[in-house]
Structure 1
């Protein structure tokens, strides 16, 4: 037992330092002065050097060899520590430090280039990030597929080929549904101006409605909404637009899904490998089911319609049914985070194919904008109008998150499975949602998914909760049924 106890004590300290690094990242995207970017890059590099040294410390290997697990939880702790250690020792310390430094600086470069609509200003930084990440991927892959090694960071036990097979199953039906829906008249949108302070107040109410504990969380604004932290400090961000309050409200609900997952994990797992979401795909299953299957449901939008009328007055929408159609309107658009449920996964497939090509060396950074614009025109039927709506719209590549994008669609697939099981388990769900009560759904998700943190492998979590092997069929059936009804297909 001494080896296991010593290992877990060391691990908790490492996890605490990782939380501090995450807080630096939160600060950088919310309140850090713009002029602090160069110093922050050095700070991030310094803490990454400490973290990498701990993650690859030879004592970890000794403890792992000596430790013996006495139950399922300890077996899972050792499994995840061993997996992380095996990856850490493959990456040279100077490379890990360089990636932290360069990606921190590149994030600021991206933000400015996006604001200036200047792709050329970002490409040198992105080229450096891509080169370093390919080097890291090669070190991790040990002769195998570089992209698979990167996906492992975000969706363990899954390969790029497996993801491509799922996407190949989804694409034809999504394209057909998109074409059928866009052939119908679009519902009217909101009109007028929506005070951004009022948006933030209602955003906070929505967060609490979906179970977010503000005693251990907070809501701030960022260019790109995100969730950060675990355990007793889980923060989210949202964004506001004077003409589009849905952007704020559904960004908030989405990020609350992430945050609720972290807040719902068994507190005994805090600051251990099991004390955080098991994968980004499972994480996205929570954010997407909160945002879409619950937040955009006919029942819940009826309640939200009343809340928005109370907050803003007349919305120019006749009734709850019209509001439901407006919330779920399918429109041409450029931005992934604003995409409707029908088209969202097509955005992910575009990014998945481009980043796989970048990592394989089949696409050069200098050619990325042209490749993006060509692919977008082919997939969506119209041209990109400006870089911030094209290859500069997402922060992910600037911070080195290659292999992350496909987990968004895996999350949708997982959410489809969970939603089907949830509907069977909570038959009174619509009545609850119509009253603004999400506790039946969020309580079921906490019991079936969230409390376990990293205890089980990602696909095992979904299979245990839903009673089915994860696959795209429930999601596709949900989308075809929902939008077939909405658009009278």
Structure 2
């Protein structure tokens, strides 16, 4: 790193900002896992207060001077300046009172959403959603400066992506996904898993799955949440999961998914700690890690064979006769309501629906009061099933209550990136299945750690994937993988 005084002063200032951001993130983790329900309004004020401090730091006029004067001679330093400049340029466009209002409202809104979801009462949530959307549209207008509002929000999560580029990608993917789904659904479906799997037993196996995927428990922990998530980085990255006692896969694959996210953060070069490049470089790249852990590795034939034996040891005979049968059950294709429980064939169709709906909301083409009907109509058209309750429809995802408009498309980007990474991984580790069949993921996770995770935000998102894979990312490897996998499973 350079000894340039301006750069050193900028990085010292940024280190404090990063530390305060970590405190804010920990407050969010607490809200979803430990906080008493009656504390919601107070937490909203706390979040608004810390956002006010963070916004003031991110827009401090000294940053412009430091950026102008700073000199660096290495890639890491250049990346630090790139990300600080990007944050500063975006932050100065957003008024401080708007940033605080959004932090306050979205903190409270999450509790309102959770209560409405539990009660199946969409009407109880819509006024709050309308308030969140109004503030997000104000923020988008400030950021876009006359450009597309939705693009401005997408850029928060996947720099360089646009609604046009994402829509084009979805347009290329949809025909092959729909064709594959029709072929698969024309075949007999595997049985569902049945039985009772206690919370304690599931949590013990979930912890062992985390260990199998290399999760560092000395710098992490696992708790329960309504909507599983991971939180934090550096030396403190935590995961959550959820329990359905009749469906252990819900817990097991949520855990593996969140371990993928958290392991990315924990693997970043410690020299980057408490700096802008000490985080995952985008939500799409982040999702690539959780999805390759969960799907290509965790739902593959080799690893599910090991999982089958683990379940027999822990739960005894649970109605599944063989590892091949277990593999088929884990990958059962069905047009279900819940995105987070969707099979790999249907998952991206869920994202495409949400992409279209939230883009229409942000652009003003769809009103909040018409959203439930639009959701239900679109779901019936895309999945052939009528939504039976709000928790299976509009109220299933936490994202809009948090103000995360523009986030959903990064899930499919993550799948696309994971498809590319998986193709490269298979070339790099030709005996991968032999290791996974023994429950040893270290070759896979080690390759991901060295080629991608340890670099954090050093490169732009697409460049991060291209550097790891050796080719520019595109949807082809994912679609080829899905067609090959499910053709084998269903005898297509």
How many angstroms apart in 2 are the aligned matches of 1:60 and 1:140? 19
**Does 2:77 match 1:74?**
yes
Residues 163-217 of structure 1 deviation map (CA, whole Å, 9 limit, x = unaligned): 1111000001001111111111110111110011010000000001101100000
Matches within 5 A, 1:311-322: 311-322=314-325
Using the TM superposition, name which of 185-194 and 219-228 deviates more. 185-194
Residues 431-453 of structure 1 deviation map (CA, whole Å, 9 limit, x = unaligned): 00000000000000001110000
Give the C-alpha shift of residue 332 in structure 1. 2.3
> How many residue pairs were aligned?
489
How many angstroms apart in 1 are the aligned matches of 2:70 and 2:470? 33
TM-score, scaled relative to structure 2: 0.99
Residue aligned with 1:343, SS = helix
Residue aligned with 2:400, SS = helix
Question: Which residue of 114, 117, 123 maps to 1:114?
Answer: 117
Aligned to 2:396: 393
Aligned to 2:234: 231
Aligned to 2:429: 426
Question: Which residue of 172, 197, 202 maps to 1:169?
Answer: 172
Aligned to 2:16: 13
Give the C-alpha shift of residue 374 in structure 1. 0.4
How many angstroms apart in 1 are the aligned matches of 2:433 and 2:342? 24
How many angstroms apart in 2 are the aligned matches of 1:311 and 1:46? 47
Aligned to 1:458: 461
How many angstroms apart in 2 are the aligned matches of 1:2 and 1:462? 33
Aligned to 2:333: 330
How many angstroms apart in 2 are the aligned matches of 1:358 and 1:279? 23
Aligned to 1:413: 416
Unaligned ranges ≥5, structure 1: none
Matches within 5 A, 1:240-389: 240-389=243-392
**Does 2:143 match 1:137?**
no
Residue aligned with 1:342, SS = helix
Residue aligned with 1:235, SS = strand
Residue aligned with 2:73, SS = coil
How many angstroms apart in 2 are the aligned matches of 1:12 and 1:52? 15
Give the C-alpha shift of residue 287 in structure 1. 0.2
Runs of 4+ in 1 over 2 A off after TM superposition: none
Give the C-alpha shift of residue 119 in structure 1. 0.2
Question: Which residue of 207, 217, 221 maps to 1:218?
Answer: 221
TM-score, scaled relative to structure 1: 1.00
Residues 82-139 of structure 1 deviation map (CA, whole Å, 9 limit, x = unaligned): 0010000000000000000010111100000000000000000000000000000000
Aligned to 1:475: 478
Residue aligned with 1:385, SS = coil
Aligned to 2:161: 158
Aligned to 1:445: 448
Residue aligned with 1:63, SS = helix
Unaligned ranges ≥5, structure 2: none
Question: Which residue of 402, 405, 421 maps to 1:402?
Answer: 405
* Root-mean-square deviation over aligned CA pairs: 0.5
Give the C-alpha shift of residue 337 in structure 1. 0.2
Give the C-alpha shift of residue 468 in structure 1. 1.3
